[in-house]
């Protein structure tokens, strides 16, 4: 009997240790998943190739609010206080408290709720950290709209849809129909608000906004 006790004792401790470690094992999976999503988001910002294409597709393509500093400076300067979120009349600005989306800093998903280029430009006027700096409406640069004729019903079925042109808050300064009836983005006039993308009736969208950071880094595929 005495010879069996050390073995039984070791077996007891092994079972007990396994039970103690179960919560850690269960917690590891969501943590690793969040890290993979964060890595794929950073790859969008940096222009590098994401390590997991499937996780990259699960994340929204986001814009920074109007008046945002350049990406790296914005992420460092922003205090994540949420003032811009609370003053936005369109409820377009969001913050992901987990930090997975957009590094936890304010962002806009145009397809869900675009910036409407409000009269008060409230987010810029009220930002206490300086991450959003005031500038006139015509000088805002959140990105640039890109028309995709192979998806647009004007070219695929020949209808006269002009919703994106009619809804653009900048009007003909940013979006027009050319002489051939094709949608034309006036790049110098487009501020990247995303209203055209939001109202576009096709799926996938036939007009989308390329975020400033992606456009300037050359990673414009979407």
Q: Which of 126, 197, 201 is nearest to 161 (CA)?
A: 201
Comparison of pLDDT for 41 and 151, the residue scoring more: 151
How many angstroms separate the CA atoms of 97 and 80, rounded? 9
Q: Tens digits of per-residue pLDDT, 69-91?
A: 999 999 999 999 999 999 999 99
pLDDT over threshold 70, residue 97: yes
Q: Tens digits of per-residue pLDDT, 118-147?
A: 999 999 999 999 999 999 999 999 999 999
Please, are residues 62 and 44 in contact by the beta-carbon 8 Å criterion? Answer: no
**Between β-strands 175-177 and 143-147, what pairing exists: parallel, antiparallel or unpaired?**
unpaired
pLDDT mean over 97-124: 96
pLDDT at 179: 95
Residues sharing a CB contact under 8 Å with residue 146, sequence separation 6 or more, in sequence order: 185, 207, 208, 209, 210, 220, 222
Q: What is the mean pLDDT of the chain?
A: 83
Name the band, by pLDDT with cuts 50, 70 and 90, for residue 12: low
Q: Where do we find the tokens 């992420």?
A: 75
Question: What percentage of the chain carries pLDDT values higher than 70?
Answer: 72
Comparison of pLDDT for 64 and 18, the residue scoring more: 64
pLDDT at 125: 96
pLDDT mean over 189-208: 98
């Amino acid at each position: 009997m005495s010879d069996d006790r050390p073995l039984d004792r070791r077996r007891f401790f092994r079972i007990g240790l396994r039970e103690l470690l179960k919560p850690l094992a269960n917690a590891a999976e969501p943590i690793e998943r969040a890290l993979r999503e964060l890595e794929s988001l950073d790859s969008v910002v940096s222009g590098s190739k994401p390590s997991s294409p499937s996780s990259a597709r699960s994340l929204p393509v986001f814009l920074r609010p109007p008046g945002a500093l350049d990406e790296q400076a914005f992420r460092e300067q922003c205090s994540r206080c949420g003032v811009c979120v609370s003053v936005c009349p369109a409820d377009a600005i969001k913050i992901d408290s987990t930090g997975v989306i957009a590094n936890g800093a304010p962002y806009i998903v145009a397809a869900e709720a675009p910036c409407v280029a409000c009269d008060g430009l409230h987010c810029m006027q009220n930002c206490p950290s300086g991450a959003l700096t005031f500038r006139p409406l015509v000088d805002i640069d959140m990105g640039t709209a890109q028309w995709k004729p192979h998806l647009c019903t004007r070219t695929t079925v020949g209808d006269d849809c002009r919703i994106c042109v009619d809804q653009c808050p900048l009007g003909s300064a940013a979006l027009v129909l050319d002489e051939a009836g094709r949608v034309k983005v006036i790049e110098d006039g487009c501020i990247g608000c995303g209203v055209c993308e939001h109202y576009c009736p096709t799926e996938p969208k036939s007009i989308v906004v390329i975020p400033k950071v992606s456009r300037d880094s050359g990673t414009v595929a979407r």
